[in-house]
Structure 1
């Protein structure tokens, strides 16, 4: 999930305005589900190479919380 979300973030940054907004709404819906199934990782700042990305600061059980 984390790699896929990294790719989505890159795509969102490069899309023109209208497609970015449309995809952004769908991604926000998926993000909300991921947030419900995961917990904050209190040690993410020390573990992750990109701790500034919120989805990299989450703990998931098994299949990325799914």
Structure 2
């Protein structure tokens, strides 16, 4: 999930405004589901190379909450 979300973030940054908004609506829905199935990682700042990305600061089971 984390790699897929990284890719989605890159795509969102590169899209023109209208398609970006359309995709963002879908991504927000998926993000909400992911947050509901994961927990905050209190040690994310020590473990992740990009702890500024919220989805990299989540703990999930082996299936990433899916």
Paired residue for 2:11?
11
How far 1:9 sits from its partner (Å)?
0.0
- For residue 41 of structure 2, what is the aligned residue in structure 1? 41
Q: Structure 1 residue 65: deviation in Å?
A: 1.0
Unaligned runs of 5+ in 2: none
1:17-65 residue CA offsets vs partner (Å, 9 max, x unmatched): 0000000000000000000000000000000000000000000012001
Structure 1: tracts of 5 or more residues without a match: none
Task: After the TM superposition, list the runs of 4 or more consecutive aligned residues in structure 1 that deviate by more than 6 angstroms.
Answer: none
Give the RMSD, CA atoms, in angstroms. Answer: 0.3
Instruction: Write the distance in 1 (CA, Å) between the matches of 2:61 and 2:4.
Output: 17
CA distance in 2, matches of 1:65, 1:45: 21
> Which residue of the partner structure matches residue 64 of structure 2?
64
